[in-house]
Structure 1
């Protein structure tokens, strides 16, 4: 217990917070029926969590350096557990959305302190072994989410996808307090609260504008106002980061093409790979009538392929520059998205399998390499900042992907429906259309929307892959030219060192 207890405690929290990114996807149709939630509500059930996690990740790491990493980690677990209980007891969409946002706040505190805690405990070979186990647990959490969500939703009910976090949280808190020592960062560190507020406002306003564009249109006052607020917040963020002593992001890093390329790839990665998945799950259960378990199993080609390829990539792709694995992986993800745009009113879910496998292969290539490439693109003293920034970009990309592709889907559905049906869709989502329009009309409209969203995801993936291939270049000997397996280890080991404030390497 004394040797591997800290690793167990940290892995419990990591598994929970990453599981909750995907476990909710399969439960969305049941949540909609139970809470009378619209499609917009369901978008926020997914996005509220990812947005809070992305917006606060860097600030949580900096705060942990000042207040104590174990203290912040335990506080995050407690907050996450309380929010999970609130999610499970939710009586309406508004309550669930608020609770999911609070969950994201707790997850940010947990995630930002995970690797620094491991780095403060383990050294040498033990550190490498601990990071390997942590990486495997992270991958398993993402892969297990849809299936676990299906089993719990079809079994005791959708509320148990949140209640199941409670006993795990109790165990994580007890074990952390018992076996994980306290650690802190440099004494001179300060939390950039102004930058955090500006970035959170930018991320939230952008996502809100994207979601509202799906129901109100791109030219509505609310949509335009949201984007204007987002632009103002982004300018404020840039001004703050230029002035503060300890910025969340050193803007001089954006003058490095390699870093810009990695950040563009990270922003697109999670959004393109997973942004359409919630709507595929809704289509399979709401339109095709599949059970939650069947819906979870239908996504296994993606998650299974990603886990297998991630394991093999580190062993077999020695000598392949990281920019090729990231750029090539994004091109594969984009190709997989294009391959899913083959649905019609009579299609079965099995036609999605080739596209899901391609997305999974691309994910398995990108995920292990992207954090290492970010660290290799910046000076060593900026390693913690680069690692935190790339994971923030991944979570923000997921939130924006769900918002953008949901808007594309609903916009396309409105174009194919009658005026009355389109009004019903805007107010209650696809589920509200059942019984109000003929079944074949609903199927045709939904599949048309999914095809358009998949094409949009494919285009985004192709552009991002091209940017990575064009920008992420480095001479031989730089970490960018290392293969995924060799790049990931030094990157992760430096991430786990106690000095960097917010270095996390998302699976």
Structure 2
């Protein structure tokens, strides 16, 4: 581990005098890179029509961003700790903004995929720098509240990104989504140059290059295998081989880090129950969140017949529950301890998903909102203590790495959630679709997707809608079970620690 007695080198005292402006700027940068993971989904039909992208290329236009983003988070976080978090934030915003502007001018799907990957590299520099800048700028007594704002922005940005994209697409082409991102990045970059202070570590050790390569390779291989699993099938040699190779690289990373004097990420940190609980909770929360959004957007557009904008606006019930509870969560944690609101939030997430799992082919929007509000409220309660547990477990000179662990948990959870829940949805849909009096080849086409069945129509349509709803039930109940498991795990981890070492737990809070 790095020397815990080293002190951060902080410039630009204006940032310390204006922490609110620092928070606003970093949250704007965060919102841009988080919203990019979901906002392009609503633009895919327009992109496919204008660039002639096939189904595989459309998938990678979305997934290339997440793949590079997740694989570079740990190395990018370490670079920020060593060379300066403000510098990392500036570099990431420049890379992201330039790639976004170039993507807006792209006419080739392959070029768009490549530029989305470059945007992911920029986002990997930005996201950990935003959280570590906040934790190094705000004093300890104000940090939990600032982190709760960061967590609320991180949680709501995906929905707000979908809504913004839907509004843009009402009047302009898909390139407007990228121009909009470039404009927001420009504002964030100017704000960073003016208001954000620098923080870097004096005497930081040399970057662990081998550890960085192993971490990036392991995460990239696992995420690639998970993303491709619905296409290749979970039992295919490609999927199992990819997962096996990725886990082997991750195991190699762990063994290498245990032998290093200055590791990129010390695996022993996970002996800290709060750090372990925070990492596990964030992963499972985003497993449920991203997986549910992928499933529900299809339900809203293909079964309810909502437009892209209407589907995005439908999700606004979620931040209605999330924003107030994310502000309340630090106060409840300060008064009663983190375990109560944290566990309650995860239970609220599980309840919201279970309610959404009851949606039928003709459910009203009130039934959708009835699940979205407790789901959002649960995320608002659970995200701040989970994020704070990760950052508070580390010394100041490792804040960027801690932020990267938090962000990596989000990305891995999201990728797993989309892959697993979509696989469950598609598997049940195919197994349950048996339209009567329809030729076998037509049935097979209908089984490829609910969109194909809708295009066929006729006697296929109603059985397809019922089969899709069956798949939605299974997928969202699985997401609810994951959230419930997370609640039980967090309660056990924090409860056991509290009984064994109350003083240590109080210090951690």
TM-score tier, shorter chain, comes to 0.7 to 0.9
Going from structure 1 to structure 2, the CA distance change for 1:196 and 1:416 (only over 3 Å counts) comes to farther
Give the corresponding residue for 1:394: 410
Which residue of the other structure, out of 192, 208, 216, is the alignment partner of 1:176?
192
Which residue of the other structure, out of 455, 466, 471, is the alignment partner of 1:435?
455
Which residue of the other structure, out of 451, 467, 471, is the alignment partner of 1:449?
471
In 1, Cα distance between equivalents of 2:432 and 2:279: 36
Say whether 1:230 aligns with 2:246.
Answer: yes
Within 5 Å, give how 1:51-450 maps onto structure 2. Answer: 51-91=67-107, 93-117=109-133, 141-142=157-158, 144-178=160-194, 180=196, 182-315=198-331, 318-375=334-391, 385-417=401-433, 420=441, 424=445, 429-437=449-457, 438-450=460-472
Is the 2:345–2:377 contact (alpha carbons within 8 Å) kept by the matching residues of 1?
yes
Going from structure 1 to structure 2, the CA distance change for 1:480 and 1:107 (only over 3 Å counts) comes to farther
In 1, Cα distance between equivalents of 2:419 and 2:431: 19
Which residue of the other structure, out of 479, 482, 491, is the alignment partner of 1:469?
491
Is the 1:64–1:72 contact (alpha carbons within 8 Å) kept by the matching residues of 2?
yes
Going from structure 1 to structure 2, the CA distance change for 1:384 and 1:67 (only over 3 Å counts) comes to closer
Gaps of 5+ in 2: 1-11, 435-439
In 2, Cα distance between equivalents of 1:216 and 1:400: 15
Give the corresponding residue for 2:30: 14
Report the alpha carbon displacement of residue 36 of structure 1 after superposing the two structures with TM.
Answer: 5.9
Going from structure 1 to structure 2, the CA distance change for 1:388 and 1:354 (only over 3 Å counts) comes to same
Mean Cα displacement is larger for which, 1-10 or 278-287? 1-10
Is the 1:212–1:223 contact (alpha carbons within 8 Å) kept by the matching residues of 2?
yes
Mean Cα displacement is larger for which, 456-465 or 42-51? 42-51
Mean Cα displacement is larger for which, 249-258 or 259-268? 249-258
Report the alpha carbon displacement of residue 274 of structure 1 after superposing the two structures with TM.
Answer: 2.9
Is the 1:262–1:472 contact (alpha carbons within 8 Å) kept by the matching residues of 2?
no
Report the alpha carbon displacement of residue 234 of structure 1 after superposing the two structures with TM.
Answer: 1.8
Higher relative contact order (CA 8 A, sep 6+): 1
In 2, Cα distance between equivalents of 1:175 and 1:254: 35
Gaps of 5+ in 1: 488-507
Is the 1:265–1:326 contact (alpha carbons within 8 Å) kept by the matching residues of 2?
no
Give the corresponding residue for 2:39: 23
Report the alpha carbon displacement of residue 363 of structure 1 after superposing the two structures with TM.
Answer: 0.3
Mean Cα displacement is larger for which, 81-90 or 33-42? 33-42
In 2, Cα distance between equivalents of 1:446 and 1:87: 34
The count of corresponding residues between Structure 1 and Structure 2 is 483
In 1, Cα distance between equivalents of 2:88 and 2:255: 28
Please state whether the residue corresponding to 1:435 is helix, strand or coil. helix
